[in-house]
């Protein structure tokens, strides 16, 4: 392909990406992954917690040419998150990350990336490509920075000048030599608001996240019990956390008004009472579906315990009879956070009928006043 043809094709690809709904697309030359050393050190320190899948296919993560043999360019396209965060307006209302209430971004962005590849293959029928959206052995944020979309902020997320970090990324590897963008300059400067804003202290150094303490990890990735010491720090968050993004000056222009639809599903007692069928109806097309009903209810009962509201006692008592031992264990802890006679009676009754050792341990700790 001639240089002039490559430049023309690159311009058409960028235009098509905008037509598909991406606010910008950047291009980098395929090669060894930027921040590969950072990845190795991060994994070596165990900061990925139970996300063992990140340990696999490291060779491909470090070089996309092993993912798509012959890859020559990495296209990274950014789409704005479709929904704003829900403020905690009352003690018995929870909140989710900004991206959670809308349609699953994996599906939305993945469809657009597939259509972008179709466009490229119509332009160059012999072209080969592979697309990824927050899955597979591709470091989206590192390539987003390398392609000029933005830079890695001190919270470890990609920050763009147009939308801050309120964006979802899609990556397309192609075996075409396209016009590459220069990496973006760091726009953080001396600002460290994101580090100070993290409720759990998960940002242990600039651009170094200990995922084991991150609320997004604890409410989404972690399958088992949330560590007791961290539960109070979750507050009313039931799926993800935007604290570090909300204080970033680059994110202020992205819009914050909540829509009426988002007011419907975040009532904490209602979340705690969800059945499997109700969960599928309410969250079947959203990113929340990936954690399943039990983990979402686990998170909701923790938030009820953190509310300090006497109105949480009854729904938590119901959760002590949940079919999931994971939910019952966290409900016991949550009732222990509500120092009233009704909560204690519920715990004592549950102790007499409970068989699961972990749940019994949580009940005993709650009755003893130990968090």
List the Cα angle 133/134/140 in 5-degree steps: 90
Looking only at the bridges linking them, the beta strands covering 95-96 and 237-239 are: parallel
All residues at 6 or more sequence positions from 226 whose CB lies less than 8 Å from its CB, including other chains? 218, 219, 234, 298, 302, 330
Name the active-site residue from 103, 104, 118, 134.
134
Contact between 134 and 140 under an 8 Å Cβ cutoff? The reply is yes
Half-sphere exposure of 314 (CA within 13 A, CB side): 4
Contact between 149 and 155 under an 8 Å Cβ cutoff? The reply is no
Burial (CB < 10 A; 0-12, 13-18, 19+), residue 342, is middle
Q: Is 134 a catalytic residue?
A: yes
> 250-254, long-range: CB within 8 Å, 24+ apart, which pairs?
250/153, 250/159, 250/160, 250/161, 250/164, 250/165, 250/187, 251/159, 251/163, 251/164, 251/165, 251/166, 252/164, 253/163, 253/164, 254/80, 254/81, 254/163, 254/164, 254/166
- Cα distance between residue 332 and residue 322, in whole Å: 11
Per-residue CA distances from 11 to 19, 80, 147, 160, 239 (Å)? 12, 21, 15, 20, 38
Count of CB atoms situated within 10 Å of the CB of 221: 17
Catalytic annotation, residues: 134
């Amino acid at each position: 392909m001639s240089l002039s043809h490559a430049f023309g094709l690159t311009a058409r690809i960028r235009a098509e990406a905008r037509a598909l709904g991406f606010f910008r697309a950047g291009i980098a030359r395929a090669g060894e992954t930027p921040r590969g050393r950072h990845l190795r050190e991060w994994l070596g320190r165990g900061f990925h917690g139970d996300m063992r899948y990140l340990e696999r296919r490291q060779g491909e993560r470090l070089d996309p040419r092993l993912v798509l043999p012959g890859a020559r360019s990495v296209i990274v396209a950014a789409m704005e998150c479709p929904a704003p965060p829900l403020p905690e307006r009352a003690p018995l209302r929870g909140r989710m990350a900004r991206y959670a209430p809308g349609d699953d971004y994996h599906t939305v962005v993945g469809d657009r990336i597939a259509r972008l590849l179709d466009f490229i293959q119509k332009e160059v029928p012999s072209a080969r490509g592979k697309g990824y959206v927050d899955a597979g052995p591709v470091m989206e944020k590192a390539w987003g920075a390398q392609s000029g979309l933005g830079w890695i902020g001190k919270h470890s997320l990609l920050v763009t000048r147009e939308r801050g970090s309120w964006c979802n990324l899609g990556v397309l590897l192609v075996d075409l030599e396209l016009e590459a963008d220069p990496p973006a300059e760091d726009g953080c400067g001396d600002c460290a608001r994101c580090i100070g804003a993290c409720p759990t202290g998960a940002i242990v150094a600039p651009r170094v996240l200990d995922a084991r303490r991150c609320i997004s990890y604890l409410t989404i990735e972690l399958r088992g019990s949330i560590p007791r010491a961290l539960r109070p720090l979750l507050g009313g968050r039931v799926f993800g956390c935007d604290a570090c993004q909300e204080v970033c000056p680059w994110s202020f222009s992205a819009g914050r008004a909540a829509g009426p639809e988002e007011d419907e599903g975040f009532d904490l007692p209602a979340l705690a009472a969800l059945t499997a069928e109700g969960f599928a109806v309410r969250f079947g097309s959203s990113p929340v579906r990936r954690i399943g009903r039990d983990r979402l209810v686990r998170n909701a009962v923790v938030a009820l315990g953190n509310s300090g509201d006497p109105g949480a006692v009854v729904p938590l008592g119901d959760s002590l009879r949940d079919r999931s031992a994971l939910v019952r264990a966290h409900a016991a802890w949550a009732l222990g956070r509500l120092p009233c006679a009704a909560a204690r009676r519920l715990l004592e009754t549950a102790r007499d009928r409970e068989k699961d050792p972990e749940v019994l341990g949580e009940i005993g700790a709650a009755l003893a006043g130990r968090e």
